[in-house]
Homo-oligomer: A and B are copies of this chain.
Amino acid sequence: MDTQAKASPRDRLLDAAIELFYREGVGTGVEALCRAAGVSKRSMYQLFESKDELLAAGLERRAPGYAALLLPAADDPRPPRARALHVFERLEELSAEPGYRGCPYLAVQVEVKDREHPASAVAGRAKQALTDFFRAEAERGGATDPALLARQLTLVFDGASARAGAGAETLAGLAAPTAAALLDAAGMH
């Protein structure tokens, strides 16, 4: 038997938070959120301190899945260069999907002006995790300046995701080649 016939209210709230805050922005009301999750406000405020906490918790929860969506498997045997490029190839694929609106963590960093906001911290950590991944690959690949290359790749990732989210242009053939040029420049062939 399965442990739960349907997702718990907590999980439904977190899923709805991710979904709605992403699609409609962090200005989305608690009312609409609870309606989407099929949970009463009463229960929501028993499970979470505030809307801000719910937002942060939603981002936190999605972080591993988001990383899995973009990063190569830990045991992916390809060389560091290919592993790093994998992220940009995945990003190009994701950006082709209709509902794509850019990296949710970047969006939160832009929308939430208060850097003390709990969600800002979560988003910052997600970005740092990406940079750390790039840096590890850069070191393994013998890049000239691994730290710099990692920051450059994160910068390209954010730029690409932001531009794709704005919707004006497709990322196809843009993100990966740009990253490749930087890998080349850093001596990671």
Residues of A within 8 A of B (CB): 23-25, 27, 101-102, 106-107, 109-111, 113, 115, 123-124, 127-128, 148, 151-152, 154-160, 162-163, 165-169, 173-175, 177-178, 181-182, 184-185
Contact = CB atoms under 8 A, between A and B. Distances in A.
Given A152-B178, A168-B127, A178-B182, A25 B159 contact: no
A9 to B, nearest CB: 27
Nearest to A115: B167
Nearest to A186: B181
The interface centre, meaning the residue of A27, A158, A167 with most chain B CB atoms within 10 A of its CB, is A158
The SS class assigned to the A binding surface is: helix
Contacts of A163: 127, 154-155, 158
The interface centre, meaning the residue of A110, A115, A152, A158 with most chain B CB atoms within 10 A of its CB, is A110
Contact of A25 (B23, B113, B175, B181): B113
Given A148-B174, A184-B185, A25 B154 contact: no
A145 B75 CA distance: 36
A154 B24 CA distance: 26
A115 B156 CA distance: 23
Nearest to A27: B27
Contact of A110 (B113, B127, B165, B185): B165
A45 to B, nearest CB: 22
Nearest to A28: B113
Contacts of A148: 173-174, 177
Given A109-B165, A110-B102, A155 B156 contact: yes
A124 B166 contact: yes
Nearest to A156: B159
A110 B178 contact: no
A141 B156 CA distance: 23
